[in-house]
């Protein structure tokens, strides 16, 4: 006679008694299994041939597969053959049905996952996926992709997408990324948690994916472009990069209208208008006095700077660049000798790592990043002024590319429109330069551009809204000139002067504005200003009382949290 078990009041009110009862019950069941007592079913398995005894009731309770098997035609057979699972794997999973645990390793996880899916053991599937993700790295990722395709495991697929979202900058440069289907890539790009520091990173990844098979992906491109936060680009970028793409004209028009016509935004149907959670921008600066170096983070809400980390750096005249979540220090001078050293500081965990050294020692050089490659340009080796250029990729290390037309050090460099620009600097003690060169990585050629209006040594050069802005570090007359380069017209024009004896422009516009750091006239305290383009003037924002000395580098990051 069938009965329905309902826990009594005593067991409900005393969970410890219930737990002890369940522990005793499971211990007895396990002893039956270990002793092969009261066995009522045996599985005959090949590869290698073996028999695996078990209890029908336990297996049926643990898995819908076994429940349906035992209710079927061969359910009452004392011996049941299983041909699509090897004996070792089946025995481990039968044990899992009793204990909820199994010896899952990197070596057997593939077979275990496939068998767990066949046997409909969801908890075992979860354990297998957890093992895969716990041990995933650059070497095992390809195997994980292959296993996901073979098994069509939804949980593994979801966990891989979470991994790709979190490690998007690394994943987007792998060869496997180029074979992602459009649905998978769209799902990743739509995530608000996509781990990028700027929306341009997502655009660059789409372009790499698209260029891999342009004819086949032409119709899919608008789907991915629509997944971007288009309103986070400026109008010039949308006009230059998005509007020319086939099928993306309307997307660009809507985003430009949203940017330029705030009053009409409620009438514009555009999917994403807010920045991603990971792209909430902040500024990170490196301030120094002699050998004391401090990383500082700007708190926009409180309009002030906060200490983030203290660094030990025993050399000078190095260059820095932000690469994903690392500050990479390249070259420099120690004890009067130029250096090849390359070191990486992880911003998140504040740990150092040595990277492959450059081929040539350099100080006073320029460093830029373009399409996942880091370029070291010109500089000094001892007293020799360099024209040589080398670039770094994790796969190939440092390799030489075409040299500059004119050797130089103490110059400024940026990337714009998939090209590298270098300007100013000096190549003799008495000769300052206003020469500008442009490097095209596709042709590996440097070409001359229009000269700046003035010679500039140690200029600070930054890209903002499709133009290059340049100003000097120092000015003898306390009135610094700032000029702007238009790459389409190949022309330079001056904008308003700065009442400042030293300054530099931030590495990325914050809130779509150009930020400047300097010491304004009649004020000995460093401060932050923002360029008001409409009125052609600089507006002071805040002072930097906790920084004494020049900034070595100013970078925007979305990698650190406010303290």
| CB proximity list for 174: less than 8 A, separation 6 or greater | 138, 141
Under a CB-based contact definition with an 8 Å cutoff, are residues 503 and 464 in contact? no
Structure confidence at residue 141 (pLDDT): 85
Say yes or no to pLDDT of 19 above 70: yes
Domain pair 173-267 / 315-458, same fold: no
Q: Which CATH architecture has domain 27-166?
A: 2-Layer Sandwich (3.30)
pLDDT (average), residues 33-55: 84
Say yes or no to pLDDT of 319 above 70: yes
Rounded to whole angstroms, the maximal C-alpha distance in the chain is: 105
pLDDT digits (tens, 9 = 90+) for 253-273: 999 998 888 788 888 999 898
Delimit the domains of the chain by residue range.
27-166, 173-267, 285-313+459-563, 315-458
pLDDT (average), residues 286-312: 72
Under a CB-based contact definition with an 8 Å cutoff, are residues 516 and 530 in contact? yes
The band of 290, judged by pLDDT with boundaries at 50, 70 and 90, is low
Structure confidence at residue 549 (pLDDT): 42
Share of the chain above pLDDT 70, in %: 82
Say yes or no to pLDDT of 550 above 70: no
- Backbone φ and ψ of 185, nearest 5°: -65, -40
pLDDT digits (tens, 9 = 90+) for 74-83: 778 888 888 8
Partners of residue 504 on adjacent β-strands: 517
The pTM of this model reads 0.54
Partners of residue 486 on adjacent β-strands: 491
Under a CB-based contact definition with an 8 Å cutoff, are residues 546 and 528 in contact? no
What is the dihedral sign for C-alpha 166, 168, 174, 177? positive
Q: Which long-range contacts (CB under 8 A, 24 or more apart) does 336-341 make?
A: 337/361, 337/382, 338/362, 338/363, 338/379, 338/380, 338/381, 338/382, 339/315, 339/363, 341/315
Q: Please, what is the end-to-end C-alpha distance for the chain in angstroms?
A: 66
Among 128-142, 290-304, 366-380, the minimum mean pLDDT is found in 290-304
pLDDT digits (tens, 9 = 90+) for 161-209: 999 998 898 899 888 899 999 999 999 999 988 988 778 889 999 999 9
- Mean confidence (pLDDT) of the chain: 83
The winner for highest mean pLDDT among 42-51, 296-305, 349-358, 397-406 is: 397-406
Which carries the bigger pLDDT value, residue 302 or residue 127?
127
Partners of residue 530 on adjacent β-strands: 515, 539
The band of 300, judged by pLDDT with boundaries at 50, 70 and 90, is low
Q: Which CATH architecture has domain 173-267?
A: Alpha Horseshoe (1.25)
> Other C-beta atoms within 10 Å of 444: how many?
10
Q: How far apart are CA 283 and CA 560, in angstroms?
A: 10
SS3 510: strand
Q: How far apart are CA 335 and CA 361, in angstroms?
A: 14
The band of 139, judged by pLDDT with boundaries at 50, 70 and 90, is low
CATH of range 315-458; options 3.40.390.30, 2.120.10.80, 3.30.70.260, 1.20.1440.120 = 2.120.10.80
């Amino acid at each position: 006679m069938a009965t329905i078990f309902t826990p009594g009041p005593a067991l409900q009110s005393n969970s410890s008694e219930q737990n002890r009862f369940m522990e005793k019950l499971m211990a007895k069941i396990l002893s039956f299994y270990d002793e092969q007592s009261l066995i009522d079913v045996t599985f005959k398995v090949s590869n290698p041939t073996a028999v695996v005894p078990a209890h029908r009731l336990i297996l049926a309770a643990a898995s819908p597969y076994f429940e349906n098997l035992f209710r079927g035609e061969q359910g009452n057979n004392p011996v049941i053959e299983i041909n699509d699972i090897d004996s070792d794997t089946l025995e481990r999973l039968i044990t899992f049905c009793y204990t909820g645990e199994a010896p899952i390793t990197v070596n057997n996880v593939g077979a275990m996952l496939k068998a767990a899916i066949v046997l409909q053991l969801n908890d075992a599937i979860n354990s297998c996926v957890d093992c895969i993700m716990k041990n995933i790295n650059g070497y095992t990722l390809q195997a994980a992709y292959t296993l996901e395709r073979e098994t069509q495991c939804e949980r593994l697929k979801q966990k891989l997408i979470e991994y790709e979202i979190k490690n998007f900058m690394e994943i987007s440069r792998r060869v496997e990324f180029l074979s992602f289907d459009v649905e998978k890539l769209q799902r990743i790009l739509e995530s608000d948690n996509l781990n990028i520091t700027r929306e341009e990173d997502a655009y660059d990844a789409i372009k790499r994916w698209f260029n891999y098979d342009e004819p086949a992906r032409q119709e899919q491109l608008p789907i991915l472009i629509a997944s971007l936060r288009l309103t986070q680009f400026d109008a010039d970028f949308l006009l230059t990069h998005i509007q020319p793409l086939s099928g993306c004209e309307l997307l660009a028009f809507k985003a430009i209208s949203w940017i330029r016509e705030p009053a009409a935004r409620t009438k514009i149907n555009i999917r994403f208008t807010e920045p991603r959670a990971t792209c909430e921008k902040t500024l990170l600066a490196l301030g120094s006095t002699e050998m004391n170096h401090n990383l500082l983070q700007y708190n926009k809400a409180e309009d002030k700077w906060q200490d983030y980390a203290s660094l030990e750096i025993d050399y000078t005249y190095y260059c820095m660049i932000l690469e994903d979540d690392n500050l990479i220090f390249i070259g420099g001078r120690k004890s009067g000798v130029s250096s090849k050293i390359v070191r990486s500081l992880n911003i998140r965990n504040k740990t150092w790592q040595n990277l492959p050294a450059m081929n040539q020692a350099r100080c006073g050089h320029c460093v830029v990043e373009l399409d996942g490659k880091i370029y070291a340009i010109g500089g000094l080796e001892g007293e020799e002024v360099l024209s040589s250029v080398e670039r770094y990729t994790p796969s190939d290390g440092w390799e030489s590319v075409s040299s500059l037309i004119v050797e130089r050090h103490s110059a400024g460099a940026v990337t714009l429109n998939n090209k590298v620009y270098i300007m100013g600097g000096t190549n003799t003690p008495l000769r300052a330069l206003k020469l500008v060169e442009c490097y095209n990585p596709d042709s590996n050629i440097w070409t001359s551009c229009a000269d700046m209006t003035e010679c500039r040594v140690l200029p600070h050069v930054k890209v903002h809204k499709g133009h290059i802005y340049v100003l000097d570090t120092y000015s003898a007359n306390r009135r610094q000139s700032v000029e702007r380069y238009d790459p389409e017209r190949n022309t330079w024009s001056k904008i308003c002067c700065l009442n400042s004896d030293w300054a530099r422009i931030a590495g990325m516009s914050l809130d779509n504005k150009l930020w400047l750091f300097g010491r304004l006239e009649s004020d000995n305290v460093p401060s932050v200003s923002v360029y008001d383009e409409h009125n052609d003037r600089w507006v002071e924002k805040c002072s930097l009382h906790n920084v004494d000395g020049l900034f070595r580098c100013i970078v925007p990051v979305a990698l650190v949290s406010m303290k």
